Amino acid sequence: MIDTRRPLDATAVSLMVLLTGLWGFQQVAIKLTAPDVSLVMQAAIRSGIATGLVLLWAQARRIALFSRDGTFWPGVVAGLLFGGEFIFIYAGLAHTAASRMVVFIYLCPPLTALGLHFFVPGERLRAGQWFGVLLSFCGLVLAFGEGFISAQGATALGDAFGIVAAALWAATTVLIRATGLARITATKTLFYQLSVSALMLLAASLAMGERGVVALTPLAVASLAYQGVIVAFASYLAWFWLLTRYLAARLAVFSFLAPLFGVLFGVAILGEPLTPWFAAAALLVGAGIVLVNLRR
């Protein structure tokens, strides 16, 4: 089958900026809700809410979710990878600083580009585009470097968990592009990931001895609704729709914007400090994105 995925246009760029903004704000929503709902349980509830919405969406749009099309096992694996990513992120945060975790998680775009290079020939990047990926990653390191360097205590285990999470995230994207999942609807792909990860994350939360739902305050309800409806349902549906139409490696580099948006929202809402290197970091990330998406 001929691959019709294309370079990014104005629609894709605008949508990716919006999506990364939504993902960045989710970092603040998770922090605000942590006293009331433990971290992995938040992820489980989010996936559960979104799974229900995907079922309703599929019914309204008459999208077949349970037809036999040879994607069951790739879909299950995608869900396990998706759930595993969040388990390693949240477990790792108990052993390393959040700033270090961010840097290691966002090894994902380079790992994604590398995986696509070997498994999806149409996604191979040129040397200048690889430089763009590296430039964006350097910008992220610059933004979070102060906390990365000043972290106290033994962080090796948490750092390793961050690298594993990045690899799982990258593997999810490569799996979707390199298997039959690339040929099905974005709705069905999302259903696989959400339904499997909801069960996996719930089991992980119980196994880890988390407190679970401590109190359903208005803030906690609003945060969980945002994470489930806006992020896990609407934004991920848009993300998978983009993956069916545009080159994944060029989309992935935009994810470097998400932690930068997270910093800005943290400053505005939580009163967190802003590193003096943030502006330079944002410029590096932006320049890298431009280089990756330059036409031949």
Does residue 1 lie in a domain region? no
Coil/strand/helix, residue 237 = helix
Are residues 243 and 123 in contact, defined by beta-carbon separation less than 8 angstroms? Answer: no
Does residue 154 lie in a domain region? yes
Q: Ranked by mean pLDDT, which of 102-116, 142-156, 209-223 comes out on top?
A: 209-223
Does residue 196 lie in a domain region? yes
Distance of alpha carbon 140 from alpha carbon 250, whole angstroms: 17
Are residues 105 and 228 in contact, defined by beta-carbon separation less than 8 angstroms? Answer: no
Q: What is the pLDDT of residues 132-151, one digit of tens each?
A: 889 888 888 887 766 666 65
Does residue 253 lie in a domain region? yes
Does residue 161 lie in a domain region? yes
Per-residue confidence (pLDDT) for residue 223, from 0 to 100: 95
Kindly report the number of other CB atoms within 10 A of residue 214's CB atom: 14
Per-residue confidence (pLDDT) for residue 3, from 0 to 100: 55
Kindly report the number of other CB atoms within 10 A of residue 209's CB atom: 8
Distance of alpha carbon 109 from alpha carbon 254, whole angstroms: 9
| Tokens matching residue 139 | 């910008």
Quick one: average pLDDT of 111-132? 87
Residues of the domain holding 234: 10-293
Whether the predicted pLDDT of 229 surpasses 90 = yes
Q: What is the Cβ-side half-sphere exposure of residue 87, based on CA atoms within 13 angstroms?
A: 19
For 35: left if phi > 0, alpha if psi spans -120 to 50, otherwise beta; the answer is alpha
Distance of alpha carbon 144 from alpha carbon 262, whole angstroms: 12
Does residue 2 lie in a domain region? no
Coil/strand/helix, residue 296 = coil
Does residue 4 lie in a domain region? no
- Give pTM, 2 decimals: 0.87
**If you search the block for the tokens 């999506």, which residue do you land on?**
19
Distance of alpha carbon 125 from alpha carbon 119, whole angstroms: 13
Domain count, the chain: 1
Q: Where are the beta strands (DSSP E) in 135-268?
A: none
Does residue 205 lie in a domain region? yes
